[in-house]
Amino acid sequence: MSDINSLKAIMTEVWATLGRAAVDKQSPLRWFTLATVSPDGQPEARTVVLRGVDRGLRRLTFYTDRRAAKVPALTANPTVSCHFFDAKRMVQYRLDGQAEILTEGTRWNEHFQRLSEAAIEDYAALLPPGSIGSSKRDTALAANHFTVIDVAVDSLDWLRLSRDGHLRARFDWQESKTFAEFIVP
């Protein structure tokens, strides 16, 4: 990581690291902060689990319960910021983009079929997330609640903190063009 000194190397490292994080349960980047704006205009941030990465499509994927508060927030305003931080390597990634909510279709089904029995239980609660008290579960309802969120990334801010000097780079994608530059940390 300390040898990164080119924009191309940074880009390769970011997508490779995120790709590993999506499948490595021990990765410090598997859990990230998703920032949204609520339907009434309030900022909201919550931790979600990275479930998939597609470098070619610049896409991040995570799951949620369709009854969770983030779903109406994303419906009203699909613009999101995804914040990743690796405290050991002192590297931060901030990826901004547009969220797409999937509650059916081929991609949704592919992800639903990958769920373990324990994961299906996460979407089987009779009461919606945030309800008071405990909720009984009915696994037959899990498919009705399970939701895939894809984030189409349109910008990336990369920051490495170091005693030898911080380094920061920004990448933007507009239509079929990529803009990349080092910026002041």
pLDDT digits (tens, 9 = 90+) for 145-169: 999 999 999 999 999 999 999 999 9
Statement: residue 5 has pLDDT above 80:
no
β-strand partners of 47: 33
In a domain, 2, yes or no: no
Closest CA to 150 of 110, 121, 116, 92: 110
In a domain, 48, yes or no: yes
Q: What is the CA radius of gyration of the chain?
A: 18
Percent of the chain at pLDDT above 70?
97
Q: How many separate domains does the chain show?
A: 1
In a domain, 171, yes or no: yes
- pLDDT (mean) for 12-41: 97
In a domain, 42, yes or no: yes
Q: Return the structure tokens found at 104.
A: 């059916």
pLDDT on residue 135: 81
Counted residue by residue, the chain has a size of 185
In a domain, 83, yes or no: yes
Please give, one letter per residue, the 3-state secondary structure of 84-146: EEECCCCEEEEEEEEEEEECCCHHHHHHHHHCCHHHHHHCCECCCCCCCCCCCECHHHHHHHE
Give the SS3 label for residue 176: coil
In a domain, 1, yes or no: no
Question: Domain holding 45: CATH number?
Answer: 2.30.110.10
- pLDDT (mean) for 51-74: 97
CA angle 139, 145, 146 (to 5 degrees): 95
In a domain, 158, yes or no: yes
CA angle 17, 20, 25 (to 5 degrees): 120
Q: How far apart are CA 158 and CA 171, in angstroms?
A: 8
Domain residues for 125? 7-183
In a domain, 165, yes or no: yes
